[in-house]
A = this chain, B = another copy of it.
Amino acid sequence: MTTTEPPATARTRLSPEQRREQIIAAAQRLYAVQPYNQVSTSALAQEAGVTRGLIHHYFGDKRELFLAAMRESIVMPEPDLPYFPDLPTEQRVRLVVEWILDAASHYGQAWLNASGAANLHGESDVQAIIDEADERAARLTLDAIGLPDSAHLRVRLRALPPLFKSVGREWLQRHTMTREEAATLLTSTVLIFVEETR
């Protein structure tokens, strides 16, 4: 698409933070629809209302902008769960799972894309970002359940987000699973993973 620039409102000068956010927001909009290689820096610049040069000035690299956009797309929102210390673990876990599924159905496509996304063949930069997000999700989940934040439990829990995504996809996208079924399966699995049997 080689469109000629619109009138191009006279050059305005923003603070670096504002500009960064503006550009990242534009990138998120585009990458939500098209994959990385099909989004040109020209398109990114146009969507953000700036010049290609500026993008490289702020992010140095097309890839770097992509990673920055992803880093912000992927954060799990802070759960605001009422905490019931008296409930048995199973029910607390169930509550957390329900909360995650709520968030999933709310964020929909975005969550599915982001949460379990991974890479293929050595795209380790993306993997690193996802790992960070999964680690954070593990901490949040442990906290929400009311379990101590032990290193060992976190290792186990951070393996789960990919499963949440794949199950979520069956439920939300393919409609091959009911929400009830998804919640039950995930609750049981989480319970297995937090059990301190060894």
A77 located at the interface, meaning its Cβ lies under 8 Å from any Cβ of chain B in the complex = no
Number of interface residues of A (CB under 8 A): 47
Known: A32-B121, A189-B192. A162 touches B155 (CB 8 A): no
A35 located at the interface, meaning its Cβ lies under 8 Å from any Cβ of chain B in the complex = yes
A119 located at the interface, meaning its Cβ lies under 8 Å from any Cβ of chain B in the complex = yes
Q: Report B-chain residues with C-beta under 8 Å of the C-beta of A118.
A: 116-119, 162, 165
Q: Report B-chain residues with C-beta under 8 Å of the C-beta of A155.
A: 170, 174, 176-177
Q: Report B-chain residues with C-beta under 8 Å of the C-beta of A172.
A: none
Whether B162 and A32, one on each chain, are in contact in the complex, defined by CB atoms closer than 8 angstroms, is no
A120 located at the interface, meaning its Cβ lies under 8 Å from any Cβ of chain B in the complex = yes
Known: A116-B118, A117-B118, A119-B117. A36 touches B33 (CB 8 A): no
> What are 11 A-to-B residue pairs whose CB atoms are below 8 Å?
A31-B122, A34-B121, A36-B37, A36-B120, A36-B121, A113-B121, A118-B162, A118-B165, A155-B170, A156-B185, A188-B192
